[in-house]
Amino acid sequence: MLSQDENLWYKDAIIYQLHVRTFCDSNADGIGDFRGLTSKLDYLQELGINAIWLLPFYPSPLRDDGYDIADYTSVHPSYGSLQDFKDFLTAAHNRRIRVITEMVVNHTSDQHPWFQEARSSRENPKRDWYVWSDTDTRYQGVRIIFIDTEMSNWAWDPISKSYYWHRFFNHQPDLNYDNPAVREAMWEVMKFWLDIGVDGFRLDAVPYLIERDGTSCENLPETHEIIRDLRKRIDLAYPGKMLLAEANQWPADVISYFGNGDEFHMAFHFPLMPRMFMAVKLEDRKPIIEILEQTPQIPETCQWCIFLRNHDELTLEMVTNVERDYMYDEYAVDKAMRINLGIRRRLAPMMENDRRRVELLTGLLLSMPGTPIIYYGDEIGMGDNIYLGDRNGVRTPMQWNGGWNAGFSAADPERLYSPLISNAIYGYQAINVDSQRRSAHSLLSWTKSVIQTRNAFRVFSRGSIEFLNPSNHRVLAYVRKLGDEKVLIVNNLSSSAQAVELNLQMYKRHIPIEMFGRNLFPRIGDLPYLLTLGPYQFYWFRLRRI
C-alpha cells in the first residue's frame, strides 16, 4: 500500500514519451518491440526519467499510428507478446520507472470486433455501442478536427446503410458513451491493464465522449460524469494509479477535467507549449506570462503535464490566428512542415540545431510548474523528416549509435518501419546516444545533469510559482517555493546578452547558489539584484538563508 504522499508520484515524475515501435528492435524485423525497449531501460534510468508513457501498442490496422485500436487487451504482434509487455513492466518497476499506457477511449478502429458487429445489422446488440444516424446533418456546426483529411464528422457505412459519428479519421468510429454497456466494457479493459500493473492511463480525446444536439459536443457535463465514475472506481480498487487527460482546450475549459480533485489527476497544458516556442522567437516573456496568468488554480492533488514536443504535430489550436500565423512563418516556413493546425517538426530542427535554445526550452520545461514530458530522441537533439507524410517525420527510429540502422535494428534497412534520419546534420552518424554518452558536454549529458538537478529538489515538482516582473521583458524570472525550499529561475529569452535587475527584497539576506556549478553568488541586499545573462542563458539558483 502506498502512502498518501507516494500516491502523488505523478507530481514528481519526469515522463519519457515513446512508441515501442520506434525505440529498439530485438528480433530484426525492422520494428521496435517490447524486448528491445526492455533492453534500453538502463539507458532511461541513467537519463533520470522516472515514468514512461507508451503510445498505443495494441493490435491495430495502424491507419493512425495505433490510435485506431482493434483489440484493447493484447499487444500488436509486431511489438511482441503480452508476456513481453509484462516482462517490460516488471523490469521498469525494478528500476523505479512507472509505466503509463495509452487508452484510446473515444473511438475504436473500424476493424474492432465491436464495430464489425455494430455495423453488421441495425438489430445487432452492439449496434448501440456506436453513434449512428440516418442523416449526416445531426450535430451540425461541430468542428472537424482533422481538417486536412475529413470533410464531415459523419461517415457513410455501406453495410448498415447509415452514418456513423467520428471526431477523428473516418475509420475511427466514436463509441457511444450514453450506453452503459460501453462504459462497463471500457472499465473492464482498464482493469485488465491495471491488474497487470500499469501505473496510469493517458486517456485520449476525452472531451468528445458524449454528443448532444445544439452543443459543440465537447466538454459536456455528461462526459464529466463518466470521468468521475471512472475515477471513483480506480481510487477504490487501484489507489495510486493515475489518469492523465488529453484535452486540447484552453486552461479554463481543461480545469473542469480536474473536477474537485475527483476526475483526472493530470491534464496536458496545451496552450503553454506553443507559447514557450513563441516567447523564444519573440524574445519576450509576454506569451508565457499571459497564459500562466490565465491558468486557474487546480486542486491540490492535481498536476499539469507540460511538454515541448510529442508524437503529434505541434498543435496550434490553442492560439489566436495572429499567433498561429506567426508560428507558421517563424517555425514552418516550408508548407511541408505544416499539418492540420500545427507543425510537424522536432525540437532541435525547430531551434535550428541551436544548442543554447534547445537547452533554454528544456530548462523552461523542467523548471515550470507541472510534470514535464520528454519526447524520445529530443534528449539527443534528433531531427525529423517532414517528407514522410502524416506525422511520421517525428516518429523515426531512435538513434542509438552511428552503426547499422543507428543501432535500432539488425534488419535490412529496407525493412525498417520508417527510414532513419540520415542527413548530414541530424543523421544518426552525427546524432546518436553512443557518441553523446562519450562526451561530458553533449546535449545528452547536459540533459541528464539538468534532470538530476530537478529530481533532487521537490520544489520543482510541487512548489508554487511567483513571477518576478523585471522591466527587461526579454528575461523571464520566477521563484518556485515549497516550504523553506526556494529556487530562483532566470531565463534570457533573447539572442543577445541582457542585463536584468530583479526585485528580490522578499529574499533579502538570502544567498543565491547556482544549482549546476554550486557556486555562491553575492548575497541579496537592499538594491535590485543585478544579473547579466548571455544569449539564451539561464540560471537556476537555490536561495538559501544561512
Partner 1 sequence: MAEESFLADDFLRQLMSVGEVDLLVGIPSYNNASTLGQTLQSVEESLLQNFVRERAAILNVDGGSTDETLQVFEQSAEQRGASHKGLTSLRTIHRISCQYDKSPSQGWALRNIVAAADLLRARACAVISPATANVTPLWVANLLRPVHREGLDFVAPLYVRSRFQGLLARDLLYPMTRAVFGQRIRELYADEWGFSGRLASQCLEKDVWHEEPVRVRPQAWMAITAIGGGLKCGQYFLGPKGAAPAGTGPDIVEAIRQTVGNFFWCMETNQAYWLSRSNSQPVSTFGPDHELSSDGIPPSPEKIFELFRTGVTELEPILASILAPDTHAQIKAIALSDRTKFHFAMELWVKTLYEFAASYHHTVLNRDHLVQALVPLYRGKLYSFLLEHANSSGEEMEAQSEILCQEFERQKPYLVERWTAKS
Instruction: Select 269 or 285, whichever has its Cβ closest to partner 1.
Output: 285
Q: Shortest Cβ distance from residue 471 to partner 1 (Å)? A: 4
Instruction: Select 112 or 474, whichever has its Cβ closest to partner 1.
Output: 474
Tell me if residue 246 is catalytic.
yes
Q: Is 278 among the residues that bind partner 1 (CB under 8 A)?
A: yes
Q: Shortest Cβ distance from residue 224 to partner 1 (Å)? A: 29
**Cell of residue 40, nine digits:** 534500453
Instruction: Select 82 or 252, whichever has its Cβ closest to partner 1.
Output: 252
137 touches 240 (CB < 8 A): no
* Residue at grid coordinates 528492435: 25
The C-alpha atoms of residue 297 and residue 314 are separated, in whole angstroms, by 25
- The amino acid occupying position 314 is L
Instruction: Select 291 or 451, whichever has its Cβ closest to partner 1.
Output: 291
Selection from 96, 117, 104 nearest residue 58 by Cα: 104
Q: Which stretch binds partner 1 (CB under 8 A): 61-69, 115-123, 456-464, 465-473?
A: 465-473
Q: Is 390 among the residues that bind partner 1 (CB under 8 A)?
A: no
Binds partner 1 (CB under 8 A): choice among 98, 470, 479, 480? 470
Binds partner 1 (CB under 8 A): choice among 274, 287, 407, 512? 287
Starting at the earlier edge strand, list the strands of the sheet with 338-339. Answer: 314-315, 342-343, 338-339
Binds partner 1 (CB under 8 A): choice among 250, 501, 514, 523? 501
Q: How many CA atoms lie within 13 A of 502 on its CB side?
A: 27
The C-alpha atoms of residue 10 and residue 370 are separated, in whole angstroms, by 10
Q: Shortest Cβ distance from residue 295 to partner 1 (Å)? A: 16
The C-alpha atoms of residue 68 and residue 60 are separated, in whole angstroms, by 6
Q: Which stretch binds partner 1 (CB under 8 A): 45-53, 126-134, 445-453, 493-501?
A: 493-501
Binds partner 1 (CB under 8 A): choice among 166, 285, 338, 346? 285
Instruction: Select 226 or 475, whichever has its Cβ closest to partner 1.
Output: 475
Q: Shortest Cβ distance from residue 501 to partner 1 (Å)? A: 8
Q: Which stretch binds partner 1 (CB under 8 A): 33-41, 63-71, 90-98, 498-506?
A: 498-506
Q: Shortest Cβ distance from residue 283 to partner 1 (Å)? A: 8
Q: Is 491 among the residues that bind partner 1 (CB under 8 A)?
A: no
426 touches 348 (CB < 8 A): yes
x-or-dash string of contact with partner 1, 426-445, rule CB under 8 A: --------------------
Q: Give me the torsion for CA of 454, 460, 466, 467, rounded to 10°.
A: 30
Instruction: Select 297 or 320, whichever has its Cβ closest to partner 1.
Output: 320
What are the C-alpha distances in Å from 118 to residues 164, 166, 304, 385? Answer: 10, 14, 37, 39
Size of the site for partner 1 (CB under 8 A): 22
Q: Which stretch binds partner 1 (CB under 8 A): 65-73, 298-306, 388-396, 497-505?
A: 497-505
Starting at the earlier edge strand, list the strands of the sheet with 538-544. Answer: 464-468, 475-482, 485-492, 538-544, 511-514
Centroid of chain to Cα 540: 24
Q: Shortest Cβ distance from residue 326 to partner 1 (Å)? A: 6
Q: Shortest Cβ distance from residue 534 to partner 1 (Å)? A: 14
Mapping DSSP to helix (H, G, I), strand (E, B) and coil, where does residue 203 land?
Answer: strand
Q: Shortest Cβ distance from residue 328 to partner 1 (Å)? A: 12
Instruction: Select 272 or 380, whichever has its Cβ closest to partner 1.
Output: 272
Q: Shortest Cβ distance from residue 530 to partner 1 (Å)? A: 11
Binds partner 1 (CB under 8 A): choice among 28, 499, 506, 527? 499
Mapping DSSP to helix (H, G, I), strand (E, B) and coil, where does residue 42 land?
Answer: helix
What are the C-alpha distances in Å from 471 to residues 222, 476, 501, 539, 540? Answer: 46, 10, 8, 18, 20
Q: Is 471 among the residues that bind partner 1 (CB under 8 A)?
A: yes
Binds partner 1 (CB under 8 A): choice among 126, 269, 474, 486? 474
The C-alpha atoms of residue 471 and residue 367 are separated, in whole angstroms, by 22
Q: Shortest Cβ distance from residue 284 to partner 1 (Å)? A: 4
Region 318-377 residues binding partner 1, contact defined as CB under 8 A: 320, 322-323, 326
Residues 6+ apart with CB under 8 A from 498: 472, 474, 475, 492, 532, 533
Q: Which of 33, 174, 246, 312 is catalytic?
A: 246
Residues 6+ apart with CB under 8 A from 463: 369, 480, 481, 482, 485, 487
Q: Which of 64, 204, 263, 378 is catalytic?
A: 204
Q: Which stretch binds partner 1 (CB under 8 A): 23-31, 66-74, 247-255, 469-477?
A: 469-477
**Cell of residue 528, nine digits:** 535590485
Instruction: Select 472 or 491, whichever has its Cβ closest to partner 1.
Output: 472
Tell me if residue 434 is catalytic.
no
Q: Which stretch binds partner 1 (CB under 8 A): 45-53, 147-155, 316-324, 367-375?
A: 316-324
355 touches 534 (CB < 8 A): no
3-state helix, strand, coil in the chain (%, to 5): 35, 20, 50
Q: How many CA atoms lie within 13 A of 426 on its CB side?
A: 28
Which residue pairs, CB below 8 angstroms and at least 24 apart, start in 318-327?
318/248, 318/249, 318/250, 318/270, 318/271, 318/274, 319/271, 319/274, 319/275, 319/278, 323/274, 323/278, 323/287, 326/278, 326/281, 326/282, 327/274, 327/277, 327/278
Instruction: Select 330 or 514, whichever has its Cβ closest to partner 1.
Output: 330
Binds partner 1 (CB under 8 A): choice among 118, 244, 266, 282? 282
> Which amino acids are annotated catalytic?
204, 246
Positions touching partner 1 (CB under 8 A) are 278, 282-287, 320, 322-323, 326, 470-474, 494, 496, 498-501
